[in-house]
Chain A
């Protein structure tokens, strides 16, 4: 039942919104992972970000695909928590430690252990529409734990225009999604984040995008 609901949500509703109301221009689709474990690491401007990326992957992978999302935001009330966990299928992540020894990345490690493809937003929050915030080093910490798992940088443009933070109405825009080459960890967190930042900057340069102010 839960899975059928999820299949209907992603297979019908999300695809209708993402592919018809919005519409995607995807470049380098062949770089997307064909199976888990893997991480899609993208910039974050909208609730639609994860939806768009999950629509890129074939439905047969759906049982294995989950977005990593903030527990404090998505589990804040019962109804939303039910929806987030069962339909959207998030991996809930606590952004703040509640006690000193808490391993915040444990749910992600467990999901990768199960062979899942995770959608991850290193910025940690949606922030200002169509503006890039600082990438946090959580991504490097995950990569350090699982150097065998490919991390695919994904740059998106337009989703923050279609549904920015604080708005509820979707306004149609075509969305660009540029997929980068998978990154692998090489022993240095700072250098790793620098490579990720560089890959994202290169993808952003593939198309000239007008400022949105």
Chain B
């Protein structure tokens, strides 16, 4: 069966990139199998993590390849799961049960703007309308104990898990091919791939060469060597991959690589700070070897809006 029969909406460059990702996973799986040879009790966590990567890449590929609507729906579900994980972790007030319902309702509404390419509402709905509405809804309940903490935490969740993540989906409705040759799905794959790769690279650099702690009170395992080594490697990959997937110039791809490298780190340690504040190790158990959804997408919470607005400002 030829590929056109599938009516894929994505350009061939995206397919090729997915092919490269699969090749990378095959190599990773072989390395892990080699490390575990003769003793299945070794590196159990690492093996689980690599296996989960296969599932994550598979789900992401299916979500992205077929239809724009399916892809947008996928990110709506991802926002819902992330928001649910966040709202289940943080202390919430009994009085805010119905407020949380409204917070959840922001997910379909926000992605509705994305689907309809209503850029203005996409930008202001959560920072302005949801912000004011949630405060109003809370104050009308009349519970003042911990009011500011509750209003602040709920809005923080909406800003990161819904507003921040929905930037990935909005990449998919940027005008195809106009005014510069770019395809939303290719841009999306570019930022997600680099962000996740950056996580892995920072981990690998940190584990092999890491000495100096970079931000010990928040994340004791993060090192300067991991951060800088990871970010620089990510930048190299960004420069190599940019001509395939994006309209970025050489200089801009360096800037974007560094932005994703350091932005991803900041997203990661921000969620670490949240977890430390609450007193949990992982945000959930949904992804074996990784933890919860938030443990996996923490870096994207920063890199998605950063990359989007870089592109929107300089290219669209």
Task: Let me know if B84 is at the binding interface, CB within 8 A.
Answer: yes
Task: Let me know if B100 is at the binding interface, CB within 8 A.
Answer: yes
Chain A residues closer than 8 Å to B280, beta-carbon distance: 207-208
Given contact pairs A25-B284, A213-B94, A169 touches B88 in the complex (Cβ within 8 A): no
Residues from 153 to 194 in A contacting B, C-beta threshold 8 Å: 158, 161, 164, 167, 169, 171-174
Interface residues on A, range: 10 to 19
**Interface residues of B, Cβ cutoff 8 Å to A:** 80-81, 84-85, 87-88, 90-94, 97-98, 100-101, 104, 278-280, 284-286
Contact B104 A172 (CB under 8 A): yes
Chain A residues closer than 8 Å to B286, beta-carbon distance: 23
17 pairs of residues in contact across A and B, judged by CB atoms under 8 Å:
A23-B81, A25-B284, A129-B94, A161-B97, A167-B97, A169-B98, A171-B100, A171-B104, A172-B104, A173-B87, A174-B85, A174-B88, A210-B91, A212-B91, A212-B94, A213-B93, A213-B94
Contact A25 B285 (CB under 8 A): yes
- Shortest Cβ distance from B278 into chain A, in angstroms? 8
Main secondary structure of the interface of A (DSSP, over half): loop
Chain A residues closer than 8 Å to B90, beta-carbon distance: 210
**A12 vs B97: C-alpha distance when bound (angstroms):** 26
Task: Let me know if A100 is at the binding interface, CB within 8 A.
Answer: no
Given contact pairs A212-B92, A213-B93, A169 touches B284 in the complex (Cβ within 8 A): no
Given contact pairs A25-B284, A208-B279, A213-B93, A173 touches B84 in the complex (Cβ within 8 A): yes
Task: Let me know if A211 is at the binding interface, CB within 8 A.
Answer: yes
**A208 vs B90: C-alpha distance when bound (angstroms):** 11
- Shortest Cβ distance from B112 into chain A, in angstroms? 19
**A169 vs B91: C-alpha distance when bound (angstroms):** 20
